[in-house]
Copies of this chain bind each other. A is one copy, B any other.
Amino acid sequence: MSDPSDAEKTARHNEKMKKIKAARDRMMQDKTEEKGLIMVHTGPGKGKSSSGFGMILRCIAHGMPCAVVQFIKGNWVTGEAEMLRNRFSDECRFFISGEGFTWETQDRDRDIAAAQNGWSIAKEQIRDPEMKFVLLDEINIALRYDYIDIDEVVDFLLHEKPAMTHVCLTGRNAKPELIEAADLVTEMSLVKHPFRDGIKAQKGVEF
């Protein structure tokens, strides 16, 4: 870079980055605590479940025992379910409680029984002292329809979850009680979606 204005730009940039780094280092000094987090992924956008599964992948990579309880997508053959069951059954426990989205089963009693069964499994996994990370995939849908009692879930997460265990709860329409109790809440918003243009759900992207 022989142009002096370029050299100047570079110098200014490096100075700015030095300041950002110093501010960031100061900020990170206070970030010394570790705790098991209650995480919520909600909103109408994509990425709620897939980012939960991305964290499961991280846990497997780090050798951290983890578990997935799928509440709603029971009758879909998803890539992640296949993968976890066929290739990572030692590293990640995988459970399915539901039988499909509620408009597929059209049987409220059966849905309630499936959701309650999922919640029993979830509690057992979270209580397990070996466990480091539990993903409760699409549990928000079961909570929204009151198939599982929100107060019981919040009470369990706040008072019975082991201190260092992470729990991630996904699904649209997270209840306010859950958002209040959570440490980390991300809302996935839909800016643009190809369904609007007639594109169907595709392998590798949606499942």
Contact = CB atoms under 8 A, between A and B. Distances in A.
Interface of A: 1, 9-10, 13-14, 17-18, 20-21, 24, 28, 30-35, 37, 39-41, 43, 45-55, 57-62, 64, 66, 78-80, 82-83, 102-109, 132-133, 166, 179, 182-195, 197-205, 207
Copies of this subunit: 2
A186 B194 CA distance: 12
B62 A203 contact: yes
B32 A57 contact: no
A183 B197 contact: yes
8 contacts: A1-B109, A40-B191, A45-B187, A45-B188, A59-B204, A60-B83, A64-B203, A183-B197
B80 A54 contact: yes
Given A39-B205, A166-B204, A204-B132, A57 B47 contact: no
